[in-house]
Amino acid sequence: MHDFGCKESKDIYYPELAEGVKHFKEEEGGRKIMCEAVEKYADRKILDKQLEMVRNLMDSMKLTAEQAMTALKFSDKEKAVLMKKI
């Protein structure tokens, strides 16, 4: 766990890991790539959770997708994205 919290590769205990992550931890282009990857992952996890909530309301409360999303107070933009996934 120590190694994953290090901001610089020189502080990582395992040389193989240090070399592998050096670009992502220390170079501007690498940090940008990692930030974008983490943001995409977070967005995907949020979308998955929103879909689960909508489907749960649809199943348990017998609501339509639109009714469930309105009950959850999703924005029009969120609704449009979710409707493509349902």
Question: What pLDDT sits at residue 64?
Answer: 97
- For residue 47, give the H/E element and its range: helix 28-61
pLDDT band at 73 (very low <50, low <70, confident <90, very high): very high
- pLDDT for residue 25 is more than 90: no
Q: Is the pLDDT of residue 38 over 90?
A: no
pTM listed for this prediction = 0.68
Look up residue 18 and give its two tokens. 């240090």
